[in-house]
Amino acid sequence: MKKEIVEREEDLVEEFKIGNVHIKIYDTYCKNKTPEEIQVILDRCSYIASEALSRQKSI
């Protein structure tokens, strides 16, 4: 079951653009998580970004 995440403006931590991509970072997903759970989330984000960048370079 997928958890619904509500994006509230007060939870917006950072907002920026890279090329045509508009990125908004909210801290909602990490609230009430242990440091270990947060590290797992960050590791997964890092892996996804790394894979996307390596695919982009091979095009």
C-alpha–C-alpha distance, residues 4 and 12, integer Å: 17
- In the predicted model, is pLDDT for residue 14 greater than 90? yes
Q: Which residue has the higher pLDDT, 15 or 55?
A: 15
Q: What pLDDT is attached to residue 8?
A: 81
Q: What is the pLDDT of residues 22-59, one digit of tens each?
A: 999 888 877 789 999 999 999 999 999 999 988 887 66
Domain locations in the chain as residue ranges = 9-57
